[in-house]
Amino acid sequence: MLECKDSNGRTILIAATEKNDINLVKLLISKGANTEATYKNGKTSLLYASENNFTELAILLISIGANIEAKDSGGKTPLIYASKNGNLELVKYFFTNGANIEAKDSDGKTVLIYASENGHLEVVRYLIFAGANKDVKNRYGLTAIVYARRENHHDIVKFLEK
């Protein structure tokens, strides 16, 4: 019953995640709901929570064993989503709980590239100090600094040029 899907392909756990209903998520997990069930584009509950900045829910899902390296159909991980959104709290949490700081999506865009492209200087700083390689290129040969420059994030360009 917990793994039944609605007409949109959602399990009950995924529907609860979409609503950021932490109490229902806790109840469903206590009853055996599968945290790795996928929805649109291969997203698990953790990926959905990360993409939507549901910080408390994402932390809960990791604490009960959700796959921190889960990837959606585009290769994005929870850490990539947190970085893309500028969610420094989640970036730190995922990294300290073993997430790959050099994770790449299917186009080779790294966690650092996403943070740079989207103008999140504090996340960029954290990633660099945590050991992210600023010279990694995506499949098109572009680095984090190229993305930052293209989006006119001058503060990030200046930081990455140091």
Q: Return the pLDDT at 58.
A: 98
* pLDDT tens per residue, range 140-151: 999 999 999 999
d(CA 110, CA 101): 8
Report the pLDDT value the prediction gives residue 1, as an integer from 0 to 100: 65
Q: Which two tokens stand for residue 116?
A: 């740079």
Q: What is the mean pLDDT of residues 41-51?
A: 94
Which pLDDT score is estimated for 75? Answer: 98
**Burial of 100: CB neighbours in 10 Å, binned 0-12, 13-18, 19+:** middle
What pLDDT is stored for residue 18 in this prediction? 94
pLDDT at site 4:
79
pTM for the model stands at 0.94
Q: Assess whether pLDDT exceeds 90 at residue 49.
A: yes
Taken in order of first residue, the domains within the chain and their CATH numbers are: 1-89 (1.25.40.20), 101-162 (1.25.40.20)
Rounded mean pLDDT, 96-123: 98
